[in-house]
Structure 1
Amino acid sequence: MSEKHIDDVSGVETTGHEWDGIRELNNPLPRWWLWTFYATIVWAIGYMIAYPAIPLINGATPGMLGYSSRANVVADLADAKAEQGVLLEKVAATPIEEIASDPELLQFAIAGGSSAFKVNCAQCHGSGAAGSPGYPNLNDDDWIWGGTIDQIYLSIAHGIRYDGDEDTRVSEMPAFGDILEAEQINQVAAYVVSLSDTPADPSMVEPGQVVFAENCAACHGDNAEGLADFGAPRLSDGIWLKGSTEAQIVQQIRNPKHGVMPAWVDRLGEPTIKQLAVFVHTLGGGQ
């Protein structure tokens, strides 16, 4: 066994480790550090006894205090639900058009509607409700079925062309490919484009206006501003649902696409539908 080495300068025993001629002194740890370390061990043992700590096959040791973070979360959720219950009952009892007159109820409805929108509606309309081709933008001024809060409520509650609800909103644009000549379809498409842009062939606008008046104005209106009663969209602005190019408009006239939105009232309940309607109405463009 090798002899212990004592440092000549400090007189302290070394550990035997040496690097490039430098030896490591074997100084004891500071007492305050040792006592702190011992205290953490005692604390850990006490914590393990008092709280759930040791993993078992089907759970963990429960601890002498009976603490459960999961039970606390359940209790907090129950408390939150109880607090919300009063306002939810108030939402259910208040006519939807009167919710805005109660600031507290309005704030609660917007918050609840925003949450419900993210869970149930954002998949189609987008997280910001800006929509996408075939899915309406809910932030603008165009409302196919009307933008009053009552009209929005009906659309959400009963859906659009939803077979499972007899009160669903229904509008069917006929396939004009079976009614009009190809030239007439191109003409009316040019007219529709001319309402907000310049068509490829301006000479087709005038005959297209005649075709529109004879075949389209009954639903879309004489000025192509749309008729909410029929679910016929406005065509006189730059907001488009199915596509804005002339070719896309021609295709929609020839063989229209019809979107479907489910009825939500049976799935979510009337209070949530009211909250959704209030939230959507506040996004912008509400009437």
Structure 2
Amino acid sequence: MSHQPERDPVSGQITTGHEWNGIKELNSPVPKVVFAALVLGAIYLVISTILLPAWPGITGYTRGLLGVDQRDTVNREVEQARMARSQWTDLINGQPLEESLADSALMDIVRETGSTLFIDNCAACHGTEGTGGPGFPDIAEGRLAWGDDVETIHETIRVGINSSHPETRFAQMLAFGRDGMLPRADIVALTGHVLGLSDPQAQTDPAVAETFAFNCASCHGEDARGVTDFGAPDLTDPYWTFGGDRDAVFSSIFNGRAGHMPHWEDRLSETETRLLALYVHDMRTPVQ
């Protein structure tokens, strides 16, 4: 027997014969707009394949009749951006950094563009605000071991500290305990003396002060405020690279310290290193 199609009494449409909980499925045709969209899409694909770069090949790809090349477009946009930036990058490259610091309009640009450059390259060690962390100095507020002027900052960025650059700055704290230069008792006494250097109320033991003068003053200075020629830090301020508690200071004297900063000359352009130097100098709080 042949099955007679059932017509839905409400819509007049033929049903498919499927039923779910009393609900019957209508055998509705696909809307014409769907076929129209498919046809238009196919036409667009054919036209775009003919006009634009499309199919990869063994040695290249189909170029298209329009000859559009996104690489050329990007290169053109990059060149346009470079030309726009050259109005202020030429100033940074062509004049002393001190003059750039005095140019308020230029420094507004430095603050805006230098922030991204600093976060991308420096924040991993020094923090986004430049306040440092364990093993990394506070460059926003603390005294810089090699000097605070902008030209010195630029040179440090360029060559690094204890880096592989042939002109790198070298800085190393001797291991007075590990290498047997001082007995443990003297190092314990020196630890207390160093901690007291930043405390105006601390009492100074003349014997320990003499030990400091004989072993430490040649690098840190007789006043313990550091010597930039050696990259020796100021011991009288509250900023400590490797920690300012008793255990950390004892460990520094006993085991020595040798930090590392990579050189950026091979990684950043001259414009970028000069821009970073201006940005770092600008972010610093004046140190009294």
Q: Give the TM-score band, short-chain normalised.
A: 0.7 to 0.9
Distance in 1 (CA, whole Å) between partners of 2:158 and 2:9 is: 90
**Paired position in structure 2 for 1:134:** 135
Compare 71-80 and 33-42 and name the one that shifted more.
Answer: 33-42
Superposed, which structure 2 residues align to 1:106-121 within 5 Å?
106-121=107-122
Aligned residue number for residue 105 of structure 1: 106
**CA RMSD of superposed structures (Å):** 3.3
Moved more, 78-87 or 185-194: 78-87
Alpha-carbon offset, residue 136 of structure 1: 1.7
CA distance in structure 1 between the aligned counterparts of 2:39 and 2:171, rounded to whole angstroms: 77
Mark the CA change 1:65 to 1:99 in structure 2 (over 3 Å): closer, same or farther.
same
Paired letter, 2:248: Q
Please show how residues 164-175 of structure 1 align to structure 2 within 5 Å: 164-166=165-167, 168-175=168-175
Q: 1:247 to 1:115 in 2, by over 3 A?
A: same
CA distance in 2, matches of 1:10, 1:163: 83
Secondary structure of the 2:250 match is helix
Give the distance between the partners of 1:163 and 1:48, measured in 2 at CA: 52
Q: Deviations over 1:9-35 (max 9, x none)?
A: 443222232223322223345555654
**For 1:204-219, what aligned pairs fall within 5 Å after superposition?**
207-219=207-219
Report the equivalent of 1:185: 187
Is contact 1:188–1:205 with CA below 8 Å preserved after alignment?
no
Alignment match, 1:251: 251
Q: 1:121 Cα shift? A: 3.6
SS at 1:16 equivalent:
strand
Corresponding residue SS for 1:176:
coil
Does the CA contact (< 8 Å) of 1:147 and 1:286 recur in 2? no
Distance 1:221 1:241 in 2: 18
TM-score w.r.t. the length of structure 1 is 0.79
What SS does the aligned partner of 2:100 have? Answer: helix
- Within a 5 Å distance, the mapping from 1:188-203 to structure 2 comes to 188-196=190-198
Q: What one-letter code is carried by the residue in structure 1 that aligns with 2:12?
A: G
- Per the alignment, residue 89 of structure 1 pairs with 90
Report the count of equivalent residues.
282
CA spacing shift, 1:254–1:9, aligned 2, 3 Å: closer
Q: Identify if the C-alpha distance between structure 1 residues 104 and 59 changes in structure 2 by more than 3 Å, giving closer, same or farther.
A: farther
* Matched residue type, 1:279: Y
**Corresponding residue for 1:73?**
74
Specify every segment of 5 or more residues in structure 2 that has no aligned partner in the other structure, as ranges: none
**Which consecutive unaligned segments of at least 5 residues does structure 1 have?**
none
Letter in 2 for 1:101: A
Task: Determine whether 1:15 maps to 2:16.
Answer: yes
1:55-94 per-position Cα deviation (integer Å, ceiling 9, x unaligned): 5556554333222333322221222223334433322111
In 2: Cα distance, 1:17 partner to 1:68 partner: 54
Q: 1:48 to 1:172 in 2, by over 3 A?
A: closer
Whole-Å separation in 2 of the counterparts to 1:173 and 1:68:
57
Q: Percent identity?
A: 35
**How far is 1:266 from its partner?**
5.7
- Structure 2 CA distance, aligned partners of 1:163 and 1:70? 36
Aligned to 1:277: 277
Structure (1 or 2) with the greater helix fraction? 1
Q: Tell me whether 1:152 sits opposite 2:153 in the alignment.
A: yes
Give 1:193 deviation, angstroms. 1.9
Distance apart, 1:187 and its partner CA: 0.5
Contact 2:130-2:139 within 8 A present in 1 as well = yes
Question: Does the CA contact (< 8 Å) of 2:15 and 2:27 recur in 1?
Answer: yes
Could you say if the C-alpha distance between residues 9 and 90 of structure 1 is closer, same or farther in structure 2, counting changes exceeding 3 Å? closer
| Contact 1:187-1:204 at 8 Å conserved across structures | no
Relative to 1, partners in 2 of residues 1:111 and 1:165: Cα closer, same or farther, differing over 3 Å? farther
- Secondary structure, in 3 states, of the residue corresponding to 2:188? helix
TM-score, scaled to structure 2: 0.79
Q: Secondary structure at the match of 1:228?
A: coil
CA shift for structure 1 position 205? 5.9
